[in-house]
A and B are shown apart, each in its own frame.
Chain A
């Protein structure tokens, strides 16, 4: 059981937009910024969004993040086949440890 709760799966057709939620508590998302990671099949994870909504260099602006209260979300607009991957949220908890969501598998139909 992960500290952060994500839906196990999400899907959409090419060009469509989808959103992935990440629910936490006052000891993590309620006080710290959220980061998102993308893991393509068979590869190491990659930083996708940091500090709730910032994109590292090279990440398309189709990816966006937000945080409100004890929840955060990752939105993907204009879904593409190469977006098929697992997506994880993570946040630094007040208990002095990193916590991850269980991951969301995105399928492009």
Chain B
């Protein structure tokens, strides 16, 4: 069965960096697009970034463009989110989400359980 397990969350100071990882199993990793979606405490869902199945199409939410980088290592079946210059409004649970197909505009069909990132001084 499809499994997505996030790790790397924690409490960090504003302006610092953090890298999230998502270990995937149960499907052919290199044929699916993958996303990061976040949810601030008590708030709604907020899409962050997507990579197509082969990494050629990558898109970001405006407020993270230039600070965050999504990447994938197909040899390790792992998705990453490198987050730099973190701000307090980046505080959220970050979900690793599989798309239902190979491309960025396919629906999100499987979600991980999430990892919490807290940015606070």
Which residues on A are within 8 Å of B, measured CB to CB? Answer: 2, 32, 35, 37, 39, 44-47, 50-51, 56, 86, 88, 90, 92, 96-103
A87 to chain B, nearest CB (A): 11
A9 to chain B, nearest CB (A): 13
Q: Is the interface of B mostly helix, strand, loop or mixed?
A: strand
CB-CB under 8 A from A56, the residues of chain B are: 109
A47 to B95, CA, bound (A): 14
Which residues on B are within 8 Å of A, measured CB to CB? Answer: 35, 37, 44-47, 50, 59-62, 95, 100, 104-105, 107-114
CB-CB under 8 A from B100, the residues of chain A are: 47, 50
CB-CB under 8 A from B114, the residues of chain A are: 44
CB-CB under 8 A from A51, the residues of chain B are: 107
Closest to B95 in A: A44
- A47-B108, A98-B50 known; 13 new pairs, CB 8 Å cut-off, are A32-B105, A35-B107, A35-B108, A39-B45, A44-B113, A45-B108, A88-B44, A90-B47, A90-B108, A100-B44, A101-B44, A102-B44, A103-B45
> In the complex, which of the residues A45, A86, A92 contacts B111, with contact meaning CB atoms closer than 8 Å?
A45
A48 to chain B, nearest CB (A): 10
A46 & B45 in contact (Cβ 8 Å cutoff) = no
